[in-house]
Structure 1
Amino acid sequence: MGDKKADLVLKNCSLVSVYTKEIIPKIQIAIIDDRIAYVGPDAEHAVGSKTTIIDIEEKYVGPGFADPHLHIDQFVLPSELAKKSLLCGVTSLFSDPIDIVSVSGYKGFQEFLKLGENLPIRIFQVVPGGLPVDRKFSNSKSLSLSQEKLAVKHPHVLGLGEVFSWTKVTLRDPKTMKSLSAMLEGDCIINGHTAGASEKKLNAYVASGILSCHEPINFDQVLERLRLGMWIMIREGSIRRDLKEIIPRVLSHGINLDRLMFCSDGLDPTDLIQYGHIDHCVRESIKLGLNPIDAISMASKNCFDYYNMNKDLGGIAPGKLADILIFDDLKSVKPNKVFVGGKLVVSNGSIITSVKKKAIPPWIKKTIKLKKLSPKDFVIKSKKKSVLANTIFMQTEIITKLGSVELFTENGNVLTSLDQDVWKVASFDRIHGTNKHVIGFLENFGADIGAFASTWCFHENDMIVIGSNDSDMSIAANILIKNQGGLVVVKSGKIIASLPLQLAGIISTESFEKVLTNFQQINSSIVDSGCKFSRPHLIPLFLPFLALPSIRILSGGIVDVKKRSYINPIC
């Protein structure tokens, strides 16, 4: 009403209305504190002597973008990710910190919440819903039911993260069902993961109260889930890019868009710089024929409708939090100004607000609980002159199958065979201090290096070491033990690339720019040496991942995922 004067007024806005799907010209927006007070043709009544007035010059004004599902416990600290996401117009991140929990449990979850607070971006969290992936084999830490109930009392914790082992729901795993019940009783959101589920299994999953999925990779899967009342997060990130398969057919079939969103599921540093974040999804969808206002709605309003947060966020309207983007056109959709809570945080491609780096407790930088290793720790013993070995055959960086090959021995140690492209691969428990480990064989890697090691692998967080010789494998492992985490490439006893990940062995405490350089060197050093895959960092990341076929390796053994049984490295 103008009784209290605005802190900020934006004049001459071309308002992108996600509520009426129209562009409304010459709009004025009054903001008091962190909320919008007025949206209309004339905010003069709200202007006082201390009111800042910005003439938008008829540029487009829309709501801040949101990524409704990603894992921010990767590569860089939340404060570093915040700066890059804000430049892309992403003002809200919905984080599923599954790996920080798998390494450090509830204590780590609490610390990670602190790292996401008091930043110029909104970070909402969920309790990881996928741990352990498979109780028979998994080595990860997880939260107890009482800890889950305690966690969701935090104002920034919204519910349960992706329940990706959907068979736990269809088979009514007791712990999973208790978690679902507790979340439903608390009116919390539950995120889904339905890769491979359909028909009655998908019906059962939805009936349990899980109403979203980011896994559909084609239109038919999207349609089946929409028909069952699910919300779909179309994934366009570093692991998969599905927009081109989905958007054209959504448009050709005239599907209602109100339950469709974009998500990244996680972005590596190279992709974030090369493509962008949710702004990339908006641009690509417009290129594929989507109406720009619909694309912006999918990047904003629909996300907050799903999370039951539309009272506060998702559009430009009175009473809403003032998360606002300003961009020159509806084609490039590149924000030149970004407001979060009415505060200008990005202007002309630069962060103009303070982004403070939080103090990190020393204990969470000491999670590699392994003693120094020697080449003897990578020996596979046999008294025979040759053996028939089972191999993990790499079909892609992610998908594996069971292979077999004849290998020779020397002094009782089964040797690798670069002629046959057969490597050793080892998995060490690095978080429990058990010294448990297993050595097996990897096929179809193809790089001319000595060893490649990583402490970051999805949801199990063993230390994975791939190598052509035992000496370089031990050197690579010991570098990671000394550095307390990371990725490293070794050849002939020398480090040729290294990416330290000091926080829990999965996150760097260095700047985004430094991490980007190190990350690119890791991949390029392996690719340039002849690796058959363009993203080799994904290989150790997925080798222990029990949610995908077919053969995986963990510190407890080599696993046939479909048969749920262990495999010996030698037949």
Structure 2
Amino acid sequence: MTSSLANSISALNSVAMGEKKADLVLKNCNLLSVYTREIIPKTQIAIFNDRIAYVGQDASHTLGSKTKIIDVNGKYVSPGFADPHLHIDQFVLPSEFAKKALLCGVTSLFSDPIDIVSVGGYKGFQEFLKLGENLPIRIFQVVPGGLPVDAKFSNSNSLSLSQEKLAVKHPHVLGLGEVFSWTKVTLREPKTMKSLSAMLECDCIINGHTAGASDKKLNAYVSSGILSCHEPINFDQVLERLRLGMWIMIREGSIRRDLKEIIPRVLSHGTYLNRLMFCSDGLDPLDIAKFGHIDHCIRESIKLGLKPIDAITMATKNNFDYYNMGKDLGGIAPGKFADILIFDDLKSFKPSQVFVGGNLVVSNGKIITLIKKKSIPGWIKKTVKLKKFTKNDFLIKSKKKDVLANTIFLETEIITKIGSAQLKSVDGQVSASLDSDVWKVAAFDRTHGTNRHTIGFLENFGADIGAFASTWSFHENDLIVIGSNDSDMAVASNHLVKNQGGLVVVKSGKILASLPFQVAGIISTESFEKVTSNFEKINNSILDSGCNFSRPHLIPLFLPFLALPSVRILSGGIVDVKKRSYISPIN
């Protein structure tokens, strides 16, 4: 538990005056002040309980017989970093993600658990809150603001208005997550507008997602109380949003990396930095192991010309100002939580020591605090509600010998368009064509147990495998199976049913690689290192077989994502997103 400032002021006041003694004093600090944009040498910081009581040149009056003194020896000291928008309901449990984030100096995470809600509804949201509590990192949550993506087609669970109001009463739930179907706002869809109003009445934050919005549509969106966006991919989009009073989270994560397009123009334009932040929007295990987290954003921004103190401010103070939490977090000053990083230099930005609430949790690049595994209820490990598959479950029938198929053509791992292909029908069954790079693709409702499913065709995948299947997808979480033959599609699907979720690659009836996701079919219970190894094997097994894309795991992830054009597949059908209509797999 952390203290409230209201209950701490007498003690902090007494320590600052020297009448009560500090628990910990850091001396000889080169303090990176995010309040004055300066480095203050020979600073001393006195900490009582989990908050800072004194910052100045001489904390000797706060020393007592039990006060611990750490001589920083002229190293650099900054507030802990924050990621203001990411999705941690993927790959690993929060306890495992926390270990890697802390090593990167990230002491606060602002989580949007949209996929755990998609699978588990309000009950799943509550369980995920528990998984993020009592860890040596601060995890703040928001109520997912994007479900259902499109009520006409979506299969996801979501929260009712009454459940949203109940959720924000939790002390770690700050408001509404990214409202990414912005047309629901501009068209004033009733449920969306009621949700926004309820959040504003509770003085909650509302996060935005404005990809593709501009001018009057963007104005309408902002006037609805949504004041942030992590979607700008260039400076012109940043500037338009800043001019309308928005806060910008510059994204540098596993799906998009936008720093290099934005930071140089910010500097040449002389833009105020006080509403700019860094965010990841989510990191896969390989990327966080290779690049880091918010520390990577700082390093890259400095290479692009940003001053170190300004990069630190964007990684710290600005985040908490946006979330209206500046009295508690974001800087090193009296009254603030003692979330403190110590650096050897201003180049690597890998902290040698990390304090959270005055407790040392990282020392010399190692986690030195116990992070307990949480118990996970059985129901959330049984969300793949599908029967055993046979190859007959993937049949597409036609009486014609020559069939014109409508395909989902992959332009990238994420972007699709409608294509077409001539296929043969043998004994009334239409097969995929590996020679023509035309695959079958299937989506099965694995959450509700309805047996609802769709079979279609996918083009331009390019891998010499039998099947690739996943139970994790944005934000429907259907079972998605891509295959060159029906038998391997059945093997892949049955493997995921048996494991109750994950990713799997199959060829000639054999499992080439597998990554189990035991929790809600989207999160592994295994260690970060084990998940990283299995994830790498998944991608490499597909890449080594000749896949046309460098990040093949993203393909099933985005195939059902209704917020992007132009054609998607869900258990309910193949959807033309712009026309909001279904497409038949064959003409």
Runs of at least 4 residues off by over 3 Å: none
Deviation string 1:226-282 (CA, Å, 9 cap, x unpaired) is 000000000000000000000000000000000000000000000000000000000
Written as runs of structure 1 = structure 2, the 5 A alignment for 1:58-457 is 58-457=74-473
Using the TM superposition, give the Cα deviation of residue 409 of structure 1 relative to its aligned residue in structure 2, in angstroms.
1.1
Amino acid in structure 2 at the alignment position of 1:363: W
Task: Find the aligned partners of 1:394 and 1:57 in 2 and give their Cα distance.
Answer: 55
CA distance in 2, matches of 1:346, 1:97: 26
Is 1:3 aligned to 2:23, yes or no?
Answer: no
Structure 1 residues 536-557: Cα deviation after superposition (integer angstroms, max 9, x where no partner)? 0000000000000111000000
SS in 2 for 1:286: helix
Residues of 2 paired with 1:225 and 1:542: CA distance? 26
1:474 pairs with one of 490, 495, 513: 490
Q: Report the AA paired with residue 424 of structure 1.
A: K
Q: Aligned to 1:419, what secondary structure does the other structure show?
A: coil
Matching residue within 547, 552, 562 for 2:563 = 547
Are 2:30 and 1:30 equivalent residues in the alignment? no
| Structure 1 spans left out of the alignment, 5+ residues | none
Counterparts of 1:499-514 in structure 2 under 5 Å? 499-514=515-530
For 1:48 and 1:476, locate their aligned partners in 2 and report how far apart those are by CA, in whole Å. Answer: 64
Shift of the alpha carbon at 1:328? Answer: 1.2
The counterpart of 1:459, out of the listed 447, 450, 475, is 475
Q: SS of 1:215's equivalent?
A: coil
Query: 1:155, 1:502 → 2: CA distance?
Result: 28
Q: Does the residue aligned with 2:362 lie in a helix, a strand or coil?
A: strand
Equivalent of 2:32 in 9, 13, 16:
16
Give the C-alpha shift of residue 532 in structure 1.
Answer: 0.5
CA distance in structure 2 between the aligned counterparts of 1:247 and 1:482, rounded to whole angstroms: 47
Q: What SS does the corresponding residue of 2:92 show, helix, strand or coil? A: coil
Tell me the CA shift for residue 378 of structure 1: 0.2
Alpha-carbon distance in 1 for matches of 2:426, 2:501: 32
Q: Deviations over 1:174-207 (max 9, x none)?
A: 0000000000000000000000000000000000
Kindly indicate whether residue 557 of structure 2 is the aligned counterpart of residue 532 of structure 1: no
2-side partners of 1:378 and 1:419: how far apart?
A: 19
Q: Distance in 2 between matches of 1:405 and 1:371?
A: 31
State the secondary structure of the residue aligned to 1:6. Answer: coil
SS in 2 for 1:420: coil
Cα-Cα RMSD? 0.4
TM score, norm. by length of structure 1: 1.00
Q: Distance between the aligned counterparts of 1:371 and 1:411, measured in 2? A: 26
Can you list the C-alpha shifts for 1:418-446, whole angstroms capped at 9, x where unaligned? 11100000000000110000000000000
Cα drift, residue 329 of structure 1: 1.3
Counterpart Cα distance in 2 of 1:357 and 1:123: 16
Per-residue deviation, 1:4: 1.1
Q: CA deviation at 1:377?
A: 0.4
Q: Measure the CA separation in 2 of the matches of 1:497 and 1:409.
A: 31
Q: How many Å apart are 1:105 and its aligned residue?
A: 0.1
Q: Residues 316-369 of structure 1, C-alpha deviation per residue, up to 9 Å, x if partnerless?
A: 000000000000111221111000000000011000001111000000000001
C-alpha separation in 1, matches of 2:20 and 2:480: 61
Q: Which residue identity is paired with 1:263?
A: C
Residues 106-140 of structure 1 deviation map (CA, whole Å, 9 limit, x = unaligned): 00000000000000000000000000000000000
* Equivalent AA in structure 2 for residue 21 of structure 1: R
What's 2:73 paired with? 57
- How many residues align? The count is 571
**1:93 aligns to what SS in structure 2?**
strand
Partners of 1:328 and 1:303 lie apart in 2 by: 24
In the TM superposition, residue 411 of structure 1 has moved relative to its aligned partner by 1.5
Q: For residues 322 and 197 of structure 1, what CA distance do their matches in structure 2 show?
A: 40
Deviation at 1:401, TM superposition (A): 0.3
Amino acid at match of 1:129: G
Of the candidates 481, 490, 494, which is equivalent to residue 510 of structure 2? Answer: 494
SS at match of 1:360: coil
Q: Distance in 1 between matches of 2:266 and 2:435?
A: 48
1:2: how far off? 1.3
1:410, distance to aligned residue in structure 2 (A): 1.3
Q: Indicate the percent of aligned positions where both proteins have the same amino acid.
A: 84
Equivalent position amino acid for 1:553 in 2: I
TM superposition shift of 1:308: 0.2
* TM-score, scaled to structure 2: 0.97
Cα distance in 2, alignment partners of residues 33 and 102 from structure 1: 39
Matched, 1:518 2:518: no
1-structure distance, mates of 2:425, 2:234: 47
The 2-side partners of 1:322 and 1:561 are apart by 48
Q: Give the whole-Å Cα distance in 1 for the aligned partners of 2:347 and 2:536.
A: 30
Q: 1:46 aligns with which of 30, 50, 62?
A: 62
Q: What is the CA–CA distance in structure 1 between the aligned matches of 2:304 and 2:289, rounded to whole Å? A: 22
Structure 2, unmatched stretches of 5+, are 1-16
Counterpart CA distance in 2 for 1:13 and 1:277 is 24
Find the residue that maps to 1:39 and give its secondary structure: strand
One-letter amino acid of the counterpart of residue 271, structure 2:
I
Aligned mates of 1:447, 1:547 — CA distance in 2: 26
